[in-house]
Amino acid sequence: MANVNKCPWIGSMFVLCLICELVAFAATTKPNILFILTDDQDVTMGGQTPMVKTKQLVGDKGIIFNNMFTTSPLCCPSRSSIFTGRYVHNHEAVNNSLSGNCSSRAWQQTQEVKAFPTYLKSKGYNTFFAGKYLNQYGNEQAGGVEHIPPGWNNWNGLVGNSRYYNYALSVNGVREKHGNQYPQDYLTDVIHKRAVSFLLKQHKWSDPFFMMLSTPACHAPFTSAPKYNATFSNKTAPRTGSYNIKAVNKHWLLEQPIVPMPADMVSSSDEIFRRRWRTLLSVDDMVSDLINLLDKKGQLDNTYVFFSSDNGYHLGQFGLPYDKRQLYDFDIRVPLMVRGPGIDAGRISNDIVLNIDFAPTFVSLVDDSMMDNVDGISMRGILHPQENKTQPLRTSFLVEHTGEYSTNVKDCPQYTNQNMGNCDSHCVCEDSKNNTYACLVTLNNSSSVKYCEFSDTENFVEVYDLKNDPSELKNLYQTLDPSHVFDLEKKLRFLATCSGPECNSLPK
């Protein structure tokens, strides 16, 4: 703390001097940042509904964003974009596999070394991570658990993909095995307890912290804490929008689901829906406890709290059983709530924000500095409009996905050598080699259009009027004027190859 002993002990003069010193101290103290990232949490199916305390303590106390999107509807590509601030075609982690560059040695050596945690640590931040990092983290071919991503002072990284029990953590480079006992092994609660422990040990509050808590909820296997196993027992997946509707004039992968869905598939999707919500209740508890602890420690007013997810989800939309990976709104629209110093409570924002915006935002909130080599835009101008800083107006963005597949699909011999992936018991597949696409999404007052091109033998194209057809039922491609198609294609080509600030200035 600032040295107040130099203030003379002379009644009101001391008080005035003390106030001045405290104001100077506050002005030079960097803000803390708490970032909670869930896994596969949707918006369109009511995925935020269970988060009652989070909405009250974060969203209602700050800003709720209505137009928050991921630029890739798959865990590792999206998370790689969050850490780097770059589109997939620039950080090149194209899917969840090691061969797809997910936490590979090449990614570690070229992208990880420039991710936002390295900036924050260089600015004096005490950095803490707990939970899921990247799907292939801990793979022995990429350094194993001994590899600690640069920029983290305190590292508790999950080895592999989301689990709730029977997993391993890398605790500052040392493998820590966990079994199946509740509560000591339940991963959301482990993250919760270690975050609390970190904050209780943060005695020197003049040293700011950045804390990222990356929960397994609400990803498969959808395991809730025992105390929540009976909640939401009467809930079912929403029967709205494109639920259980046969896809027409869409990419062939979307036309192979069974519609109407078999009874067991409907029952399974409803059970998954309930289980997903139940897992989120433990996240809600964690958010509440941490905010209350920060308040007791006198740090809440100097702490930004961000709550979001890596990608959306679907359960029965167009007959697809359960997953993400698709170009539609249900898989790319995600929650975002932010509170923090100087942010007025009760705000709703319709600004377009993306997962590539987190990295430059965190860096700019530290000392208004810029992060190099990013495609995203800092949200600082949206969070603090009173600063009158120039905020680039984004009206368009890019969505990219590279399909994952296998040569053999278990229990589906008809798909041998067909390059299919992620198939259920009815052999309905959610991904394929040529489920590889790039989309231009434009949202403004005059035009709300999604234009997508697939990398397949047909060069298939889908176009949707998002204002008049929010469920994306009708592909308009064949009805468009060729000049309009040419304009959309030109803009998509630009975004699909852009790099840096130019990504936010589409050609005319």
What angle in degrees, to the nearest 10, is found between the helix axes of 75-84 and 358-367? Answer: 20
The two beta strands, 437-443 and 448-454, are antiparallel
* pLDDT computed for residue 456 by the predictor: 87
- Per-residue tokens: 434: 């040529």
Estimate to the nearest angstrom the gap between the alpha carbon of 312 and the chain centroid: 9
In eight-state DSSP terms, residue 323 is B
- Active-site entry in 75, 412, 439, 452: 75
Token output for 482 = 């060729």
pTM, two decimal places: 0.93
Q: How far is CA 390 from CA 218, 323, 381, in A?
A: 37, 39, 7
Q: How far apart are the first and last CA of the chain?
A: 53
Residue 2 neighbours by CB under 8 Å, 6+ apart: 21, 22, 24, 25
pLDDT at residue 393, rounded to an integer = 80
Residues 6 or more apart whose CB falls under 8 angstroms from that of 88 comprise 71, 72, 77, 80, 81, 94, 400, 402
Sheet with 396-401: list strands edge to edge: 396-401, 437-443, 448-454, 461-465
To the query of whether residue 75 is one of the catalytic residues in this protein, the response is yes
Per the rule left: phi > 0, alpha: psi between -120 and 50, beta: everything else, 37 is beta
Write out residues in the chain with pLDDT < 70, as ranges.
1-28, 203
Residue-level pLDDT at 22: 41
Residues 6+ apart with CB under 8 A from 137: 103, 147, 157, 158, 159, 160, 170
Reduce the secondary structure of 390-418 to three states and give it as a string: CCCCCCEEEEEECCCCECCCCCCHHHCCC
Contact 246, 259 (CB under 8 A): yes
